[in-house]
Amino acid sequence: MGMCKPSGGIDKIIGRVGSLPRIWLPNTRLDLYDGIGNLLQQGWYGPDGKIIWYRDWSHGGGYHDWPHDHYVNWDNPKNPRPPYIGPNGEKTNSDFC
């Protein structure tokens, strides 16, 4: 199973970038698509249902490598989604998928 296929399963919603809920079903992954089937963002949810990880496939705000990951910083509302950079400069964390 692991984080790629979490024990609570994978759900899909349609919406806009940023519309992933911060709280969802425990131990799940939620994939956010736009209305024409483009994957926008993925969120991983922990045992308490709080989001623990983001993978972004599309959003505004300048140049980015796609996809890239963000930590979730529940304790710092001023910087709630710090970018992930792996030990070798990776933009995504293979632990999650």
Q: Does 69 bind Zn ion (CB under 5 A)?
A: no
Question: What burial class does residue 7 get, using C-beta atoms within 10 Å of its C-beta: 0-12 exposed, 13-18 middle, 19+ buried?
Answer: exposed
In contact, 75 and 52? CB cutoff 8 Å: no
Count of CA atoms in the C-beta half-sphere (13 A) of 76: 8
Candidate ranges 7-15, 34-42, 51-59, 72-80; the one touching Zn ion (CB under 5 A): 51-59
Taking the least distance from each CB to Zn ion, the nearer of 16 and 47 is 16
Q: Does 56 bind Zn ion (CB under 5 A)?
A: yes
- Could you tell me the smallest distance in angstroms from the CB atom of residue 1 to Zn ion? 26
Interface ranges with Zn ion (CB under 5 A): 56
